[in-house]
Amino acid sequence: MEIIIQANPEAASGIAARFVARLLRAKPDAVLGLATGSTPLRLYRKLVQEKLDWSRVTTFNLDEYVGLEPGRPQSYHSFMWGNFLHHINIAKKNVHIPDGQVQDIPDFCRRYEEQIRAAGGIDLQVLGIGTDGHIGFNEPASSLASRTRIKPLTNRTRRDNALFFENESQVPHHVITMGIGTIMEAREILLLAFGKNKSGAVARTVEGPITAMNPASVLQMHPAAKMVLDKAAAAKLKKTAYYRWVYENKPDWQKV
């Protein structure tokens, strides 16, 4: 895993935006995996400012709450369109966000996987991380080989995500999420984590054992995973001096 530590979320998001921009310039019909949450918001703002051409880009979002109408402000549909997709020239038909209202969830999940395959697979998957190490909504004990499916949330995640709702009781218990196996098939992974409440999950992910109890730790097995952190999220890592040295001494051809 490549660990990139920046002074603050602004600088870290700037680097993440450069990775995405570089991909889109090299491959105008790239397939991006997108994440929700407060963490990628600055990245999306910066990508809007970049004025890139999104007309041939395809996107797949990681997850959605089951049972929330897409128009509800807390739905990930509203989040993505409001914070990002409405502000770029993406074609609506190229946007894929799990539908939390479908009747036949297993059938929907199978088709979501097929759509990802038909698009040629995900070139770059953007990820955040939960305080319990979840990626997408793959909670601890998720199969590391899981595919897109319905998943119940832990109380901790419902508590963490309650700030977007009126209160915790409003947070749905179930979600549809890409599986860990699905995420691992992306050709590149860009995980962002900011703030000290993510520092434990980050340290376990980078320097701990690979375990389903900390789902993000599976990224140690990914051949091209980058973690872009602010100082606070990196605070519990042991080898920060080494990670910083590696990043600052990259050969020119590896720099973004």
d(CA 22, CA 8): 22
User: For the chain, where are the E strands, in sequence order?
Assistant: 2-6, 31-34, 58-61, 63-65, 95-96, 124-127, 149-152, 174-177, 188-193, 225-230
Task: Find, among 78, 83, 25, the residue nearest to 52 by Cα.
Answer: 25
d(CA 251, CA 254): 6
Q: Contact between 30 and ligand GLP (CB under 6 A)?
A: no
Which residue in the list 64, 77, 123, 134 is annotated as catalytic? 134
Choose the stretch contacting ligand GLP; rule: CB under 6 A; options: 42-50, 83-91, 129-137, 226-234: 129-137
Choose the stretch contacting ligand GLP; rule: CB under 6 A; options: 1-9, 31-39, 45-53, 226-234: 31-39
Which DSSP helix (H) or strand (E) runs through 16?
helix 9-26
d(CA 119, CA 117): 5
Annotation says 104 is catalytic: no
The type of residue at 200 is G
Q: Contact between 214 and ligand GLP (CB under 6 A)?
A: no
- Looking at the Cβ atoms of 91 and 163, the one nearer to ligand GLP is 163
Choose the stretch contacting ligand GLP; rule: CB under 6 A; options: 34-42, 79-87, 210-218, 247-255: 34-42
> Of 129, 171, 227, 229, which lies in the binding site for ligand GLP, with binding defined by CB under 6 A?
129
- Looking at the Cβ atoms of 31 and 62, the one nearer to ligand GLP is 62
Question: What does the binding site for ligand GLP look like in residue numbers (CB under 6 A)?
Answer: 35-39, 62-63, 128-130, 136-137, 157, 161
Catalytic residues: 63, 132, 134, 139
